[in-house]
Amino acid sequence: MFEEGQLYSPVTADADGGVQVHLGENHPGFRDEAYRARRNEIAAAAVAWEPGQPVPRIDYAEAEDEVWRIVSHELAPKHEQYAHSEYLAAKQALGLPAERVPQLDEVSSLINPLTGWSYIAAPGLVELRRFYAALGWRVFHSTQYVRHPSQPLYTPEPDIIHEVMGHANQLASPRFARLTEAAGVASTRLETDAGMQFLADVFWFSLEFGVIHEQGELKAYGAGILSSFGEMDAFRSMEIRPLDLVQMGTLNYDITAYQPVLFAADSLDQLEDVVGDFFDNCSDDSIAELRSKVPAA
| 167 is annotated as contributing to ligand binding | yes
> Which residue type occupies 239?
E
> Which residue type occupies 172?
A
Query: Choosing from 64, 157, 181, 208, which is the catalytic residue?
Result: 208
Within 8 A by CB and 6+ apart from 209, the residues are: 222, 224, 225, 259, 262
DSSP result, 36-82: HHHHHHHHHHHHH--TTSPPPP----HHHHHHHHHHHHHHHHHHHHH
Verify whether residue 142 is a known catalytic residue.
no
| 73 is annotated as contributing to ligand binding | no
Verify whether residue 167 is a known catalytic residue.
yes
Query: Choosing from 79, 227, 228, 272, which is the catalytic residue?
Result: 227
Task: Label the pairing between strands 139-142 and 118-121.
Answer: parallel
Are the beta carbons of 17 and 41 closer than 8 angstroms? Answer: no
- Cα separation, 113 vs 177, in Å, equals 13
Phi-psi region of 215 (alpha: psi -120 to 50; beta: other; left: phi over 0): left
Verify whether residue 127 is a known catalytic residue.
no
Verify whether residue 162 is a known catalytic residue.
yes
| 79 is annotated as contributing to ligand binding | no
Query: Choosing from 141, 167, 187, 206, which is the catalytic residue?
Result: 167
How many CB atoms neighbour CB 4 within 10 A?
A: 16
Active site residues: 162, 167, 208, 227
**Residues of each annotated binding site:** 162, 167, 208
**Residues of each annotated binding site for Fe cation:** 162, 167, 208
